[in-house]
Amino acid sequence: MPDTLHSNRPALPPEIARRRTFAIISHPDAGKTTLTEKFLLFGGAIQMAGQVRAKGEARRTRSDFMKMEQERGISVSASAMSFDFRHYRFNLVDTPGHSDFSEDTYRTLTAVDAAIMVIDGAKGVESQTRKLFEVCRLRDLPILTFCNKMDRESRDTFEIIDEIQENLAIDVAPASWPIGMGREFIGAYDLLHDRLEIMDRADRNKVAETVQITGLDDPKLADHVPPELLKKLREEVEMARELLPAFDRQSFLEGHMTPIWFGSAINSFGVRELMDGMGEYGPEPQPQRAAERVIAPEETAVTGFVFKVQANMDPKHRDRVAFVRLASGHFERGMKLTHVRTGKPMAVSNPVLFLAADRELAEEAWAGDIIGIPNHGQLRIGDALTEGEKLRFTGIPSFAPELLQGVRAGDPMKAKHLEKALMQFAEEGAAKVFKPMIGSGFIVGVVGALQFEVLASRIEQEYSLPVRFEGSQFTSARWVAGPKAELDRFINVNKGHIATDHDGDIVYLTRLQWDIDRIQRDYPELKLTATKEMMV
């Protein structure tokens, strides 16, 4: 991240300063979907929390927002949603839900300025939470923690905090302190504002009652908290104030400290305080780094980068939507931007802003916002859009495919369909697809084994095409570039190992590192790389 990130920067224009762009990270089942839904509810974006839910892994193969749309009958259909809360504009970016390592997740986290980490109070820090946390740490993202499901038997509060501190090596500052747990859970003490928040057990969608008090000695506390719990609360808070660090915004913004709220998403408890925390302490849109220079959000020229491409948002139309994080400026609909990779002008006449109620035409957007640009495949992950300046945004990772498998359509007559499906996934960045020069079929490269399953199920669902993945004779792929004559000579003698990717670029496939070393020796002018930079 830019060095200038948290240093004293000039005040941003108010429209930019009120934006908070963030993602929610968690282990499956911790409550991310429920929390998202409550955010939308408090953000006025939906009227009522839904009820219908599917069980198990099936509902996690696609984006959680999509899952909500399908199962709860609300129309969200998006990877990013915008809504207002108090005077803030929240942009919540969805992270894919499947539990394997996912490239998508990494890229998504390049588009946000902060993250909310949801943990289950009974389970603590789980494997997926840890992985995602590490990605956030790589980018020094500020993280707010929400300890969910306090209405169930949970671990001791100190134990939870200790586990986070030790497991994730981050300071934890309690922003609230739970009062009771499980069936006895009645609410929380807001340590940042000296307030008592009482949960309403009767109505899950009702926000907590707030009791303003002067501190833990306020006799008013006894009117709301039973004596046993009050005694425990006073002891614990005293201990916490002695043993745990106090909230320090600077340390939080630098990614060294996380404030933690205790609540119950399903009971709408603690959610509003968490949202207030994001608004009050969360980072404003941050500068973004490009190879050429750092781009400040307040710059007047519009710049942005594509961090995700999603196809088939509407199965009837095979269009794609490129999700663009605006890095700077004030975008207005109809603007002509330069698509830096091709150098071509692009009139952005129908951008969409994902207000939770539905996709809406974005009349305007500011630095920090995420807009969707429908297109027919021109916009690729990593692409920059500017008002003419040649910029190459950095930090959007490209991954070397580590697992290769062949893929065939169950019905050999459907090979063309399969090719189309695979090309779409390659453009989305969901997999690398190689077409060997000799023979039929395709070879697909992914980073995590589960991605094969996800792909197979998506191809079947979206293209009604049963497919079979099978072992490949190759285990490594290298992109090859160099002077044309040398490249041609190389291709001619290695035909059985040559394939092209979805851009038509040359890839060398092998199972031996020895082969790769030999080529580098025999063809000194050729360059072999394990990843293809997604940008020019």
Name the site residues for ligand G4P (rule: CB under 6 A).
26, 28-34, 53, 64, 148-149, 151-152, 264-267
The answer to the question of whether 167 is labelled as a binding residue is: no
29 annotated as belonging to a binding site for a ligand: yes
Which three-class secondary structure state does DSSP give residue 42? helix
Q: Which is nearer to ligand G4P, 98 or 435 (CB)?
A: 98
Q: What is the Cα–Cα distance from 344 to 63, expressed in whole angstroms? A: 32
Q: How far apart are CA 28 and CA 37, in angstroms?
A: 15
Closest distance of CB 460 from ligand G4P, Å: 23
Measured N-to-C along each axis, helices 32-42 and 271-281 cross at an angle, to the nearest 10 degrees, of 70
Task: Indicate the residue among 185 and 425 with the shorter CB distance to ligand G4P.
Answer: 185
Other C-beta atoms closer than 10 Å to the C-beta of 316 total 6
- Nearest Cα neighbor of 280 from 47, 36, 114 is 114
State which residue, 11 or 52, has the beta carbon closest to ligand G4P.
52
193 is in an annotated binding site: no
In this structure, are residues 507 and 478 in contact, taking their beta carbons and an 8 Å threshold?
yes
Closer to ligand G4P by CB, 263 or 282: give it.
Answer: 263
26 is in an annotated binding site: yes
Shortest separation between residue 163's beta carbon and ligand G4P, angstroms: 18
Phi and psi, residue 142, nearest 5°: -65, 140
Considering the complex, what minimum distance in angstroms separates the CB of residue 205 from ligand G4P?
13
Are 209 and 197 contacting, i.e. CB atoms less than 8 angstroms apart? yes
Q: What is the spatial distance between Cα 2 and Cα 110, in angstroms, rounded to a whole number?
A: 12
Angle between helices 450-463 and 415-428 (to 10 degrees): 120
Report which of 476, 433, 437 is spatially closest to residue 451, judged by C-alpha positions: 433
Burial of 514: CB neighbours in 10 Å, binned 0-12, 13-18, 19+: exposed
Q: How far is the CB of 64 from ligand G4P (least distance, A)?
A: 6
Task: Say whether 97 counts as a known binding-site residue.
Answer: yes
DSSP 124: B
Contact 189, 180 (CB under 8 A): no
98 is known to lie in a ligand binding site: yes
d(CA 410, CA 521): 41
Please say which residue, 144 or 353, places its beta carbon nearer to ligand G4P.
144
Q: State the minimum distance, in angstroms, from the CB of residue 150 to ligand G4P.
A: 7
Residue 174 marked as a ligand binder: no
**CA nearest 363: which of 82, 66, 76?**
82
Contact between 91 and 22 under an 8 Å Cβ cutoff? The reply is yes
Choice between 73 and 315, CB closer to ligand G4P:
73
Q: Is 235 exposed, middle or buried (0-12, 13-18, 19+ CB in 10 A)?
A: exposed
CA nearest neighbour of 432 among 422, 441, 440: 422
The verdict on whether residue 96 carries a ligand-binding annotation is: yes
Q: How far is the CB of 262 from ligand G4P (least distance, A)?
A: 10
- Nearer to ligand G4P among residue 178 and residue 283 (C-beta): 178
CB of 535 to ligand G4P, least distance (A): 33
Min separation Cβ 119 and ligand G4P, Å: 10
- Considering the complex, state which of residue 95 and residue 328 has its C-beta at the smaller distance from ligand G4P: 95
Q: How many Å apart are CA 89 and CA 15, to the nearest integer?
A: 9
Minimum separation from the CB atom of position 357 to ligand G4P (A): 20
Q: Are strands 143-148 and 88-93 parallel, antiparallel or unpaired?
A: unpaired
Smallest gap from Cβ 400 to ligand G4P, in A, equals 29
336 annotated binding-site participant: no
223 in a labelled binding site: no
Q: Is 288 helix (H, G, I), strand (E, B) or coil?
A: strand
Q: Please report how close the Cβ of residue 73 comes to ligand G4P at its closest, in angstroms.
A: 14
Whether residue 95 is annotated as binding a ligand: the answer is: yes
Nearer to ligand G4P by C-beta: 67 or 325? 67
The answer to whether the annotation marks 395 as part of a ligand binding site is no
Task: Give the residue with the Cβ less far from ligand G4P, 117 or 362.
Answer: 117
Main-chain dihedrals φ then ψ at residue 231, nearest 5 degrees: -60, -45
Q: How far apart are alpha carbons 504 and 421 in whole angstroms?
A: 16
94 is in an annotated binding site: yes
Contact indicator for 174, 263 with CB cutoff of 8 Å: no
| Residue nearer to ligand G4P on the CB measure, 265 or 302 | 265
Residue 413 CB burial class (10 angstroms; 0-12, 13-18, ≥19): exposed
Between 145 and 286, name the residue whose CB sits nearer to ligand G4P: 145
Report, in Å, the least distance between residue 233 CB and ligand G4P. 20
Say whether 374 counts as a known binding-site residue: no
What string of DSSP letters covers 365-382?
A: EETT-EEEEEESS---TT
For residue 330, say whether it is annotated as part of any ligand binding site.
Answer: no
Annotated binding site: 26-33, 94-98, 148-151
Annotated binding site for GTP: 26-33, 94-98, 148-151
